[in-house]
Amino acid sequence: MLEVEGAPKLDVVKIRKDFPILKRRVHGKKLVYLDNAATTQKPQQVVDAVCQYYTNQNSNIHRSVHELAEEATEAFEASRDKIQRFVNARSREEIVFTKNATEALNLVARSTLEKFVKPGDRVVVTEMEHHSNFVPWQQLAKRKGVKFEIVSVSDDGEVDESDLETKLRGAKILAFTHMSNVLGGITDAKRLTKLGQDHGALVVIDGAQSAPHLPINVQDIGCDFFAFSAHKMLGPTGVGCLYGRRELLEEMPPFLFGGDMIRDVQREETTWNDLPWKFEAGTSNIAGVIGFGAAIDYLADLGMQNVAYDERQLTKVALEELSKVKDIVIYGPRDPRKRGAVISFNVGKIHAHDVASILDSEGVAIRSGHHCAQLMMQKLDVPSTSRASFYLYNSTDDVEALCNALRKVEEVLS
Least distance from ligand PLP to the Cβ atom of residue 6, Å: 28
HSE of 336, CA atoms in CB hemisphere, 13 A: 16
Convert 143-179 into a string of H (helix), E (strand) and C (coil).
HHCCEEEEECECCCCCECHHHHHHHHCCEEEEEEECE
Catalytic, out of 51, 223, 372, 403: 372
**In sequence order, what are the residues at sequence separation of 6 or more whose Cβ sits closer than 8 angstroms to the Cβ of residue 286?**
53, 60, 61, 72, 76
Q: Which residues bind ligand PLP (CB under 6 A)?
A: 37, 100-102, 130, 132-133, 177, 181, 206, 208-209, 229, 240
Dmax over CA atoms of the chain, in Å, equals: 72
- Nearer CB in complex with ligand PLP: 133/385: 133
Least distance from ligand PLP to the Cβ atom of residue 229, Å: 3
- Nearer CB in complex with ligand PLP: 389/396: 389
Q: What is the DSSP letter of 39?
A: -
Torsion on CA atoms 51, 54, 60, 65, rounded to nearest 10: -100
Least distance from ligand PLP to the Cβ atom of residue 130, Å: 4
Least distance from ligand PLP to the Cβ atom of residue 143, Å: 21
Q: Say which amino acid occupies 221.
A: I
Question: Peptide bond before 20: cis, by omega within 30 degrees of 0?
Answer: no
Other CB atoms within a 10 A radius of the CB of residue 213 amount to: 30
372 is catalytic: yes
- Nearer CB in complex with ligand PLP: 235/363: 235
Per the CB < 8 A criterion, the answer to whether 154 and 344 are in contact is no
- Nearer CB in complex with ligand PLP: 130/339: 130
Least distance from ligand PLP to the Cβ atom of residue 13, Å: 29
- Nearer CB in complex with ligand PLP: 175/402: 175
Q: Annotated catalytic sites, by residue?
A: 372
